[in-house]
């Protein structure tokens, strides 16, 4: 039975690495997994999914107005598609998530969507909200905050490591713009370890 999967996480959790592994697993079994990624994300060149661990592969692109049901249907007619893997799925529109659901229901092809749950302001992306509503299967890919707790938030930081609270939802610039934090450190705006009051007084005494 085909299903619609949403594998979500904060930034830098290895989502693309898992996607590339899933793609390889299909290939190894002689199956055809179609990989899609968002056109607006051109960090690494056009039509490529790149994992931070240093591997990449070509991918078909979807733009905001791409009908991904029709895209997959036409490729499926050329050569049977056994699975669809979508990277950067937070950038899908609600309509595109509904199209992904039809790929599962009408074409009976499993769809695995990988993406961020929330943006740097802690709000759901459109694609992630629709996937949380419509997916058959939700899976959290875990990563950790600098404190060791599970990181659930993606913070945008400036050049000094300060957490930025305002700006455009999408700012494609490189992974060093973002850091994954637990809720407490995200809400406190602590993107890295801060000295507590005792540690500060010890340092002040030593300097005196």
| Residue 125 vs 186, nearer CB to Zn ion | 186
| Residue 148 vs 173, nearer CB to Zn ion | 148
Indicate the SS3 state at residue 147. Answer: coil
By the 10 Å C-beta count (0-12 exposed, 13-18 middle, 19+ buried), 14 is classed as middle
The catalytically annotated residue of 28, 70, 77, 88 is 88
Closest approach of Zn ion to the CB of residue 151, in Å: 7
| Residue 52 vs 188, nearer CB to Zn ion | 188
Closest approach of Zn ion to the CB of residue 185, in Å: 4
- Determine the Cα–Cα distance for residues 15 and 35; give it in Å rounded to an integer: 13
> Which pair of tokens denotes residue 127?
């694609």
Q: CA of 197: how far to CAs of 160, 163, 188, 202, 203, in Å? A: 21, 21, 16, 9, 10
Indicate the SS3 state at residue 72. Answer: helix
**Helices 94-105/126-134 angle, 10° precision:** 30
Contact positions vs Zn ion (CB under 5 A): 145, 147, 149, 182, 185
Q: State yes or no: is 126 an active-site residue.
A: no
Q: Which residue has the tokens 């913070």?
A: 155
Closest approach of Zn ion to the CB of residue 150, in Å: 9
| Residue 19 vs 182, nearer CB to Zn ion | 182
> Which pair of tokens denotes residue 83?
């699975």
**Active site residues per annotation:** 88
């Amino acid at each position: 039975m085909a299903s619609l999967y949403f594998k979500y996480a904060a930034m830098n959790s290895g989502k693309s690495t898992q996607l590339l592994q899933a793609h390889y697993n299909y290939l190894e079994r002689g199956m055809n997994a179609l990989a899609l990624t968002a056109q607006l994300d051109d960090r690494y060149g056009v039509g490529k999914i790149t994992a931070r661990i240093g591997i990449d592969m070509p991918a078909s692109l979807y733009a905001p107005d791409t009908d991904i049901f029709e895209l997959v249907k036409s490729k499926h007619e050329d050569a049977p598609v056994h699975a669809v893997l979508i990277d950067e799925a937070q950038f899908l529109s609600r309509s595109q998530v509904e199209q992904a659901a039809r790929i599962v229901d009408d074409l009976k092809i499993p769809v695995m969507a990988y993406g961020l749950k929330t943006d740097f302001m802690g709000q759901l992306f459109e694609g992630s909200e629709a996937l949380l509503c419509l997916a058959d299967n939700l899976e959290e890919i875990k990563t950790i905050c600098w404190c060791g707790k599970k990181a659930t938030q993606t913070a945008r930081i400036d050049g000094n490591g300060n957490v930025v609270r305002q700006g455009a939802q999408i700012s494609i610039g490189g992974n060093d713009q973002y850091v994954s934090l637990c809720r407490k450190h995200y809400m406190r705006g602590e993107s890295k370890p801060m000295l507590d009051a005792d540690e500060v007084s010890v340092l002040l005494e030593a300097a005196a």
